[in-house]
Structure 1
Amino acid sequence: MIVDQVSAEAPSGPGRWSFLAAAGLALVAALLAGFALRAWGEVGGTNSYALLADAFLHGRFDSPTCFDIDCARYAGKIYVIFPPAPALVAMPLVAVFGPNATGFLVLSGFMLAGVAWIWFEIAARLGLAREARIWTTLAFVFGTPAFYVGLRGDNVWFFAQSFGLLVASLAVLAAMDRRLWLAGAMIGLAFLTRQMTLFLAPFLFALSRPKEARLISFDRATIVDALRLGLPLAAALVVYLAYNYARFGSPLETGYAYIAAYPDGEERSFITWRIEDLGLFSKEYLLSNVLYLFVQGFHAEFGGRYMTELVKMDPMGTSLLAASPFVLFAFYARPDAKLLTGLFAIVAAAGITLFYHSNGFIQHNVQRYVLDWLPALYVLLLPALAGASERVDERLRLFKLLAVYALGLNVAAFVITGITKGAI
């Protein structure tokens, strides 16, 4: 393999790799310090899930206002349109401190810590040595959109993705341990947070299959396993359909069709125009979304007369391959049923969102929608770093290098975003 040859030819003195490890730890420390700083300065009245939680606490579905532009006006009322599960997480906070509560970044921090623990355990289940488990966990938490959505958990979109990633990751771990009721319940919660995570269900079933068992079979044990995983997910589907009906009079109406009517004139943006003129889904979005998902690089914009004034980070983000190049280790994925079902989850979820009116805007140096299917991709790539051999050591060195590069890009992006005060 080319990457093996490159890593084998690279100098591998202990000093150089020790320096790389130190650089990685320094970057992680910088990111954690930035997180703590944002959490310390968090202000209330920014996360619309607080409004939805308050509505639930008062026995209603509508809210008197909205903290963002992605709300719906329907039948003279305002609705926070997003799926309901994260509002349940926010309810204790809102019950004590009201809808203007702070503390969402603290909750997001605990979620991120939970994600780290889960992926450390998943890596152990897949046979990775301790050093490899540490590096792959750090890469997942700090080198993918996982950290970005946690860092911005005081806003509705990112708080949802923090919780969705937590429960989807727990579903993966539960499936690997053949705790299928738990896996089904967790992916059900993930669906009630981020709808596209529904496509992870077949992958979870493949992960849960005993060694040497067929993926598709009609024997009693396989059918029971399918029911144990599927029934909690089916219950979540029923809940969501009933929730939609209670709000908008139709089980299939999510409220997204009404969001263009909510923003005031000064808050209207290209997102509003897209929805009004082209619709929630359109082939017109495909080229932009494809380029941003797979090709677009780190992009800081400059302006002024001489084009020397730092203006902002590209709010449409950086491609997954450019921002998190270590995901290319999925090239080593084993050709089996897990790969087949994992590819289905990735292609289905990513394929639908490529026609969606938003690619995740606003985001800096990430494509945050990949979190809906990134757990499948990461499980597929981890076995390439499992075991103890010279080849695995060579691969791990290259993985470390790419992971530190990804961490460095995140630090640079967040510094630029801070300097420009998040200009969009």
Structure 2
Amino acid sequence: MTTLSMRERLLFPIGVMIAGLLSVALAYSAFTEDGGTNSAALVADAFLHGRLWVESCFDLDCASYNGQTYVAFPPFPGLAALPLVAINGMATSGFIVLTTLCFAMSLLVWNRIFRQLEVARADRSWLMLALGFSSPLFFVTIRGDGIWFFAQAIALLLTSLAIHEALAGRLMSAGVAIACAFLSRQMSIFYVPLLLVLSLRAEVPLVSAIPDRIIRAMKLGIPVAAAIGLYLLYNQARFGSLLESGYAYIDYPPGVLKDRLDAYGLWSLEYLPFNLYHALVQGFHARFEGFGNLELVGIDRFGTAFLVASPWLVMLFFTPINRRTVFAGLLVAGLITAMLFYHSNGYTQYNVQRYMLDWLPAALMMLAYAIPRHTTPLFPLSVLWGMALNAVTIATMTVVL
């Protein structure tokens, strides 16, 4: 048994202290949130009035089509906002409270997943701190007043639930969870093969008992197919085409996103250098302007590379090779690669690359296998670094605003 030094024993209390400070900031944001900023409320109001178009637009991502305005995103965040809007109207606040609930539930679900994977208590504690306070989850939680962040908080919770249910062999409920995640963040659909693999015992060959595999695939696939069909019909009803999500009809104000879309469209090789730098090497960047560049005015809105903001991800290198980790690794690599060619790397973000949340659940699966292989304090130290940067970000934005 390894004996911890005094300095190593202090690491976890320091992590708990930083987590407590960040939780206070989160609570403050939840109870001081302004209404009329989250477009999910507009979608909910439209549903309550039996229509799909919205009466106004709270943010940049509204599409204009045939004289009507639509929120371009999938519909589930609007469904999640129905209780708030039914009580308080479409100018309601309370979304950060909802994302905080998603945050807490995501941590509870992952605690159960790590138990399912037989992760030791100490490693489990650090993985929980990494997820909650050293990943983009904290940022999207505290920014739940915007539909982009609200949708990601919901999708991560639902994807996590799907993984939990798949590991427990409950494929129908896993299918329902990932179907709802897909109706929040479309990238969630790529978890379906991984969920099927997770439902199989490790010692069972992947290609065997074909009738059983077909039954499993049907249980998982029926809710997913229903969600895909619903989304296609939703597109058809709004924009006259099954495959038109509405992004082509967004008229951004003058700025970076409009320049990119007008010149290169939603996907282009031209975006690769910018996105690659911001994904892997771009540092935390506080902006100073004014006389002598001495006035702190904010933080780069394009964010910090995930290997800088969440350096504990380098532990993925030590993931052992097995069927589950291979499928999870392919998912992580595929989603990272795809987003390198997208017109936006997340935008309006600071110490994060928030699209990382699309593949983080798969990465956490890999880390559950990787972390127990190493007894050095490298992982805790890297988690603390990410937590400290989050605290610096909150402090900086508080000073600036």
Provide TM-score, normalisation by structure 1.
0.91
Q: 2:215: which partner in 1?
A: 224
What are the superposed Cα offsets for residues 156-193 of structure 1, whole Å, 9 maximum, x if unpaired? Answer: 10000000000001111111111111111111111111
Residue 328 of structure 1 pairs with residue 320 of structure 2? no
> In the alignment, does 2:83 pair up with 1:92?
yes
**Contact 2:114-2:124 within 8 A present in 1 as well:** yes
1:147 equivalenced with 2:138 (yes/no) = yes
User: 3-state SS of the aligned residue for 2:292?
Assistant: coil
Report the equivalent of 2:378: 398
Name the structure 2 match of 1:372. 358
1:206 Cα shift?
A: 1.3
- Among 13, 25, 45, the alignment partner of 2:5 is 13
Structure 1: which amino acid aligns with 2:5?
Answer: G
Which residue in 2 is equivalent to 1:51? 42
Within 5 A, what are the aligned runs for 1:285-364?
A: 285-364=271-350
**CA displacement at 1:340 relative to structure 2:** 2.4
Aligned-partner Cα distance in 2 for 1:130–1:101: 40
What does residue range 69-218 of structure 1 map to in structure 2 within 5 Å?
69-217=60-208
Matching of residue 420 in structure 1 with residue 370 in structure 2: no
Matched AA of 1:320: F
Distance 2:371 2:94 in 1: 37
Contact 2:77 2:151 in 1 (8 A): yes
Cα distance in structure 2, aligned partners of 1:295 and 1:235: 40
Higher mean C-alpha displacement, 344-353 vs 31-40: 344-353
Superposition deviation, residue 12 in structure 1? 4.3
Distance in 2 of aligned mates of 1:332 and 1:347: 16
Name the CA distance, whole Å, in 2 between partners of 1:95 and 1:30. 33
Contact 1:346–1:373 (CA under 8 A) maintained in structure 2 = yes
What residue in structure 1 maps to residue 391 of structure 2?
Answer: 411
Q: Which amino acid aligns with 2:381?
A: L
Partner of 1:238: 229
Q: Distance in 1 between matches of 2:322 and 2:122?
A: 27
Aligned residues with identical type, % of pairs: 43
Aligned counterpart, 1:278: 264
Cα pair 1:62 1:77 within 8 Å, conserved: yes
Distance in structure 1 (CA, Å) of the matches to 2:263 and 2:342: 13
Deviation digits for residues 84-105 of structure 1 (CA, Å, limit 9, x no counterpart): 0111110011011100111111
Q: Distance in 1 between matches of 2:241 and 2:45?
A: 23
CA contact (8 A) 1:116 1:138 kept: no
| Matched residue SS, 2:293 | coil
* TM-score when normalising by structure 2: 0.96
Residue 16 of structure 2: aligned partner: 25
Verify the 8 A CA contact 1:46 1:67 in the aligned structure 2: yes
| Of 121-130 and 370-379, the range deviating more from structure 2 | 121-130
Whether the 8 Å contact between 1:39 and 1:103 is mirrored in structure 2 is yes
CA contact (8 A) 2:329 2:366 kept: no
Cα distance between partner residues in 2 of 1:216 and 1:312: 54
Q: Deviation at 1:18? A: 3.2
What's the offset of the Cα at 1:218? 5.9
Contact 1:46–1:68, Cα closer than 8 Å, also in 2? yes
Contact map agreement 1:331 1:381 (CA 8 A) in 2: no
Q: Indicate if the aligned counterparts of 1:285 and 1:357 stay in contact, CA closer than 8 A.
A: yes
**Distance across 1 between alignment mates of 2:400 and 2:194:** 41
Select the residue among 236, 242, 259 that pairs with 1:251.
242
Superposed CA deviations along residues 312-340 of structure 1, whole A, max 9, x for unmatched, are 11110011111111111111212122222
CA distance in 2, matches of 1:184, 1:336: 23
- C-alpha contact 2:284 2:309 (8 A) present in aligned 1: yes
**What corresponds to 1:5 in structure 2?**
none
Displacement of 1:306: 1.9
Q: CA deviation at 1:140?
A: 0.7
- Asked if the contact 1:127–1:383 (Cα under 8 Å) also holds between the matched residues in 2, the reply is no
Is the CA contact 2:303–2:350 (under 8 Å) kept in the aligned structure 1? yes
Cα distance between partner residues in 2 of 1:218 and 1:337 = 17
- Report if aligned partners of 1:327, 1:378 keep a CA contact under 8 Å in 2: no
Alignment RMSD (CA, Å): 1.5
1:408 alignment partner AA: A
Residue 343 (structure 1) shift:
2.4
Gaps of 5+ in 1: 1-7
Q: Deviations over 1:235-266 (max 9, x none)?
A: 1111100110010110000000011x2x4xxx
- 1:114-138 CA-partner distances (Å, limit 9, x unpaired): 0110111111111112222122111
**Which AA in structure 1 matches 2:295?**
E
Q: Unpaired segments of 5 or more residues in structure 2?
A: none
